[in-house]
Amino acid sequence: MTDRYPNIVTSGLSRTVTIDGVTVEVKIYRLTSTQDSWRLCAHGDSQP
């Protein structure tokens, strides 16, 4: 049976970065219950 709510480890390298007025939130994470590689998720603000 798989965990419905698995534990997630977030890397200390995760952060919010702003360059030239554009902000991007960078999250690096992996599941603790597996030997999976780290995942990277980037989410930025939209520009008009």
Of 27, 8, 5, give the one whose Cα is nearest residue 17: 27
* pLDDT for position 41: 94
* pLDDT for position 46: 66
The 10s digit of each residue's pLDDT in 1-48 is 566 787 899 999 999 999 988 899 999 999 887 778 999 999 987 665
Query: What is d(CA 2, CA 33) in angstroms, rounded to the nearest whole number?
Result: 10
* pLDDT for position 10: 93
For residue 40, what is the DSSP state?
Answer: E
Identify any residues that bridge with 19 across adjacent strands, giving them in sequence order: 22
* pLDDT for position 33: 78
